[in-house]
A and B are shown apart, each in its own frame.
Chain A
Amino acid sequence: AQRVTQPEKLLSVFKGAPVELKCNYSYSGSPELFWYVQYSRQRLQLLLRHISRESIKGFTADLNKGETSFHLKKPFAQEEDSAMYYCARPYPGPRATNKLIFGTGTLLAVQP
């Protein structure tokens, strides 16, 4: 079965500490991977996608095909980074279906 695994339900760090949110996926060809974020009382929104190799709000994520991972990293956490983070990948199959598989999410809590 195609899966996205986020092993940590909760990650608590202090402000200024490095952050790494883990995501592993089950292998299926060349996947596209995404990180979505949900801030308190806000809707889920796309944070970044691996294909664009961008850095958003200081976050980066590198696709490691050998380890089948797509961990989300930030060198210095800020309190406003506190949110629920979801890793996601498409279902295998026709591109036009746009179906995504989401991980179970990691709640990042940045302490002052």
Chain B
Amino acid sequence: EAQVTQNPRYLITVTGKKLTVTCSQNMNHEYMSWYRQDPGLGLRQIYYSMNVEVTDKGDVPEGYKVSRKEKRNFPLILESPSPNQTSLYFCASSSGGNKTPYEQYFGPGTRLTVT
């Protein structure tokens, strides 16, 4: 089944404790991105990647890191989480280029709480 998976789905952590949220897709998509969803603010892009070893900042990259060592994986790293990073996080992928662009496939979401 074609899908985007994220782990963990729920995470409660404390300020300053490094964490990683994994994202994996099995559709051989070039393009992957991370969003955070907050009430009243909608979806805001954190980072995106157009292909392996190619990443760039989205609209709200502060406090986050990403890597794209393999095509299928795009982990989100919070080196020193803070309470304002409490949010619902979504990973997404799409085929990129001119093939049905912009139809992004989303993961199930990771609800992160930083105390």
The chain A residues found within 8 Å of chain B, CB to CB, are: 6, 9, 32, 34, 42-46, 49, 86, 88, 90, 95-100, 102-105
Contacts and interface: CB of A to CB of B under 8 A. Distances in A.
Interface string B31-43: 1010100001111
Interface of B: 4, 31, 33, 35, 40-45, 48, 50, 58, 90, 92, 94, 96-98, 101-109
Given A43-B109, A44-B90, A98 B104 contact: yes
A5 to B, nearest CB: 10
Given A96-B101, A97-B31, A104-B42, 16 more contacts: A42-B108, A44-B90, A44-B92, A45-B106, A46-B104, A88-B102, A90-B101, A90-B102, A95-B98, A98-B50, A98-B104, A99-B48, A102-B44, A103-B42, A104-B41, A105-B43
B42 A98 contact: no
A9 B104 contact: no
Nearest to A9: B40
Contact of A32 (B90, B102, B105): B102
Contacts of B41: 104
14 contacts: A9-B40, A43-B90, A44-B90, A46-B103, A88-B102, A96-B96, A98-B33, A98-B96, A99-B58, A100-B45, A102-B35, A102-B42, A102-B44, A104-B42
